[in-house]
Structure 1
């Protein structure tokens, strides 16, 4: 189901983007075109502890506030949507191949009218993460109530004392997550 993907282009760091998020270092941008020549933009925001947050949208929607909460409507009843999602994971793998200490996180954004808890996107993305990122290399943490997913790299646990706790503290400062302690 998630075996094929489109070719991604790494555009480099977005030097014009500043963020008010704590612990933010830089944003890395990728793009790709699907089989209909529709252009997508992938963003990997880099934070402390070599942690990256994945998000993507149609390039034409890049300046919209709700760009992550909309559907393109291009793939209803089609398996092409899985190819788009799998392509976004290629951006994560791009960094993981360069540095085996990367950790990743994402929020499965809610659609218009959908509750933020255990969203459809979250359920699909988390299934993909469990299949592509093995548990011997990554600890998988889910916050279904927030549709939040964290892939914590186990290599870092040996090199950074209290690594999981530090990453969760950072995430709580970025997003102000309720009851984050229960995930540690």
Structure 2
């Protein structure tokens, strides 16, 4: 079901001293309806990557992560975002990943439909031998904590949770 991703282009990364993240990685791809999507990956210290994606047409909207495309192509779009995560992991096998399943308009922030879907995908595609899976239902946030990296950084989970609290208005 989630093994049919679109071919994506890595557009490089930028360093922005005014942002809390170290680098911003960008990927793009076109779906079968010829609409362009952007995958935005914020890289924080300790090799933590926060994944976000949106339809390019929604780029100027403050709600770009909440809006639905209406194209009924979610599985391939999500699969492509997962492929970008795997691409980053292959570049650095100490990578950990986080994301938030944004709420649709009228939906509560906690335990969103997107979050529930993403949880199922992550549990099926990312081995518990390599990653510790952490769910934060109240915030619809998810963390794939790299086990190898968390051995190197003793309190990595707490560091990432503080990052989520500070920059993503998450509460535990």
TM-score when scaled to structure 1? 0.88
| Deviation of 1:128 (Å) | 0.7
Q: Is the 8 A contact 1:17 1:27 kept in 2?
A: no
**Equivalent position of 1:38 in the other structure:** 35
| CA deviation profile, 1:4-63 (whole Å, cap 9, x unmatched) | 1100100001457952x4xx1111000000111111000000111100111111112112
1:118 and 2:115 are equivalent in the alignment: no
3-state DSSP class of the match of 2:139?
Answer: coil
Runs of at least 4 residues off by over 4 Å = 15-18
1:50 and 2:50 are equivalent in the alignment: no
**Equivalent position of 2:144 in the other structure:** 151
Pairwise mapping of residues 168-179 of structure 1 onto structure 2 (< 5 A)?
A: 168-179=161-172
Label 1:48 to 1:59 Cα distance change in 2 as closer, same or farther (>3 A): same
**Equivalent position of 1:4 in the other structure:** 4
3-state DSSP class of the match of 1:165?
Answer: helix
Aligned length: 172
Label 1:117 to 1:123 Cα distance change in 2 as closer, same or farther (>3 A): same
Structure 1 gap ranges (5+): 180-184
Structure 2 gap ranges (5+): none
Which whole-Å CA distance do the structure 2 matches of 1:172 and 1:165 have between them? 10
Which whole-Å CA distance do the structure 2 matches of 1:173 and 1:114 have between them? 23
RMSD: 1.6
